[in-house]
Amino acid sequence: MGEANILVCFAVKEEAKFFLPESTGPHERLITGMGRHNAAKSFREALKKGLPEMVITAGFAGGLNPDLKVGTVVFEEDFEVGLGSTLEQAGVVAGTFHCSKRVAVTAAQKQELWISTKADAVEMESSVIRTICREFKIPSATIRVISDAADEDLPLDFNALMTSNDRINYFKLMLSLVGKPQKIPQLIRFQEKTILAARQLGQVLEKSVLYLTT
């Protein structure tokens, strides 16, 4: 396909833990921060340095479709990207994403979103990044891994721990765990699952970038 300059965007570094930029050819990695505002601001700043030929927005997603298990990688792409058959051969599932302003914390909230949006997964940054891509006529794709299934509650209400600029307030997090120490084992198990999910995502992204750049 020839070399392509690809920008791969993540909200937080934990999502990018197993995606090694130096190993897979001509592309860059961008950590935007969580939420629509941070994603839009960071992405527009990155575009000032030059327009990539292609953008992939990647990271974790909450499952809305009950058939999607933790560790399942889901993708949605512009036709021009052309990754579909390669991803499906690797076991990646074609699906749709709902971009939410808030973290979907409970199974009940996810079910409401599943019914109202018909989307397969929920995330907080990809839609705004891909809207900007369309503004600049840059082909783009979303590739995200399910970190929590539709029937799972998150161990904490992360919305209550956010600052006004969509960052985790670690003082609030500490107080929450001090007040509810029984949540600590749940949080540890959740972190273990996200590490496994990030590993799966990294493998898929490496295959994707190699395909697009060779």
CA dihedral for 13, 18, 23, 24, sign (positive or negative): negative
pLDDT value at position 135? 97
Q: Of 48, 3, 8, give the one whose Cα is nearest residue 26.
A: 3
Residue of higher predicted confidence among 47 and 21? 47
> And the tokens for 27?
């592309």
pTM: 0.89
Backbone dihedral region for residue 35 (phi beyond 0: left; psi -120 to 50: alpha; all else: beta): left
Match 């503004």 to its residue by tokens.
135
Give residue-wise pLDDT tens across range 92-147.
Answer: 999 999 999 999 999 999 999 999 999 999 999 999 999 999 999 999 999 999 99
Top mean-pLDDT range of 14-23, 24-33, 71-80, 154-163 = 71-80
Cβ-contact 129, 32 below 8 angstroms: yes
Domains of the chain: 6-154+197-213 (3.40.50.1580)
- The Cα–Cα gap between 157 and 163 comes to 13
Mean pLDDT of 64-85: 95
- The Cα–Cα gap between 134 and 131 comes to 5
User: Which residues on neighbouring strands pair with residue 76, listed in sequence order?
Assistant: 142
Cβ-contact 54, 5 below 8 angstroms: yes
Provide the 10 A C-beta neighbour count for residue 162.
Answer: 17
Three-state SS at 63: strand
In this predicted structure, the answer to whether residue 213 has a pLDDT above a threshold of 80 is no
Cβ-contact 197, 70 below 8 angstroms: yes
